[in-house]
Amino acid sequence: MAVRVKLLIKVNGKTKEVVALVNSGYEADSPQLMIPHGVARELGLWPPPTVSRELVYDTAGGPVKVWLIPGVAKAKVVAEDQVSSKEVLIDLVVSTYVDEPLISDALASAFEIVIEDPYRGLWRFKWEDKVRESVKK
Residue 55 to residue 116: CA distance in whole angstroms: 33
pLDDT number for residue 21: 98
Give me the architecture of the 4-128 domain, per CATH.
Beta Barrel (2.40)
Query: What is the value of pTM for the model shown?
Result: 0.96
* Better-scored residue on pLDDT, 124 or 83: 124
The pLDDT tens digits for 85-99 are 789 999 999 999 999
Contact 20, 98 (CB under 8 A): no
Residues near 79 by Cβ (< 8 Å), separated by ≥ 6?
A: 5, 6, 125, 132
Domain ranges of the chain: 4-128
Sheet containing strand 113-117, strands side by side: 113-117, 122-125, 132-133
pLDDT above 90 for 137: no
